């Protein structure tokens, strides 16, 4: 039984968010999926490949369903792939704004026990977890 929104988008019960989002990627292949502010782009094929790489890397590190993975990154082309790669293995994605990485722990938007921080290299040196 599908769940429908007011925009007539149907998501089958039991279908994951990454599964739903990526279900049409093969159809679009080398068409541009995203463009950033600098004009760099990523195709649907590249986006799917990046999602798969993130999921594989996290699984190889021992991340599994139910684990929490913190993304510490500005918004860029890799952000959606990282997010959906985390979700595709059943892990929980939580996000942190690098500009707020020095907030005191009780005010920090990230859980204290996130077992797998996923910082971009440009943000890693500013982060104390």
Domains of the chain as residue ranges with CATH = 11-124 (3.40.50.980)
Among candidate residues 76, 82, 68, 77, the one with its CA nearest the CA of residue 115: 68
pLDDT by position in tens, the chain (length 129): 455 555 666 767 777 778 888 888 989 999 999 998 889 999 999 999 999 999 999 999 999 998 888 888 878 888 899 999 999 999 988 887 776 656 544 444 445 455 555 555 444 444 444
Provide the β-strand partners of residue 37: none
pTM, two decimals, is: 0.71
45: left (phi > 0), else alpha (psi -120 to 50), else beta?
alpha
SS3 93: strand
Distance (Å, whole) CA 31 – CA 44: 6
Q: What's the rounded Cα separation, in Å, for the pair 84 and 16?
A: 10
């Amino acid at each position: 039984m599908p769940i429908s929104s007011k925009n007539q988008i149907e998501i089958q019960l039991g279908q994951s968010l990454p599964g739903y989002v990526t279900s049409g990627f093969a159809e679009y292949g080398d068409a541009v999926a995203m463009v950033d502010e600098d004009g760099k782009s990523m195709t649907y094929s590249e986006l799917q490949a990046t999602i798969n790489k993130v999921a594989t890397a996290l699984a190889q590190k021992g991340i599994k369903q139910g684990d929490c993975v913190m993304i510490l990154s500005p918004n860029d082309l890799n952000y959606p792939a990282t997010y959906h790669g985390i979700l595709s293995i059943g892990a929980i994605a939580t996000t942190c704004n690098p500009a707020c990485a020095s907030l005191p722990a009780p005010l920090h938007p990230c859980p204290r026990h996130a077992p797998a921080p996923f910082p971009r290299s440009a943000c890693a040196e500013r982060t104390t977890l």
